[in-house]
């Protein structure tokens, strides 16, 4: 889409931007864009770090443990209630 852009086209675009925003506002505009890009890059980095932490493999310490202190024993014929 922008493959046909030449140096002349870029000069015209820059002149239009200069007319729209004015020379005094351009440094502030550039600073604002740079800060926005820096914040965006930091957020992308934080998301990648969080995703890596979520995908980590479970270890032995992560295995579920039984908290029951009672033990079960097999049911034998003697322990069954009498049939009526």
For the stretch 59-74, pLDDT in tens is 656 556 666 566 666 6
The larger pLDDT score, comparing residue 54 to residue 35, is at 35
Q: Mean of the pLDDT values across residues 11-16?
A: 90
Q: What is the pLDDT of residue 40?
A: 93
- Domain contains 44: yes
Number of domains in the chain: 1
Rounded to whole angstroms, how far apart are CA atoms 43 and 39? 6
- Domain contains 36: yes
The larger pLDDT score, comparing residue 63 to residue 49, is at 49
- Domain contains 45: yes
- Domain contains 4: no
Q: Which domain holds residue 47?
A: 26-53
- Domain contains 34: yes
Rounded to whole angstroms, how far apart are CA atoms 14 and 7? 11
Q: Which residue has the tokens 């931007």?
A: 17
- Domain contains 47: yes
- Domain contains 35: yes
CA atoms within 13 A on the CB side of 56: 10
């Amino acid at each position: 889409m922008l493959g046909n852009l030449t140096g002349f086209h870029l000069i015209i675009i820059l002149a239009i931007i200069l007319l729209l925003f004015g020379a005094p506002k351009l440094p502030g505009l550039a600073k604002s864009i740079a800060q926005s890009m820096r914040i965006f890059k930091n957020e992308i980095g934080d998301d990648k770090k969080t995703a890596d932490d979520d995908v980590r493999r479970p270890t032995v310490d992560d295995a579920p443990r039984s908290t029951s202190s009672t033990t079960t024993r097999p049911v034998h014929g003697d322990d069954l209630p009498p049939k009526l």
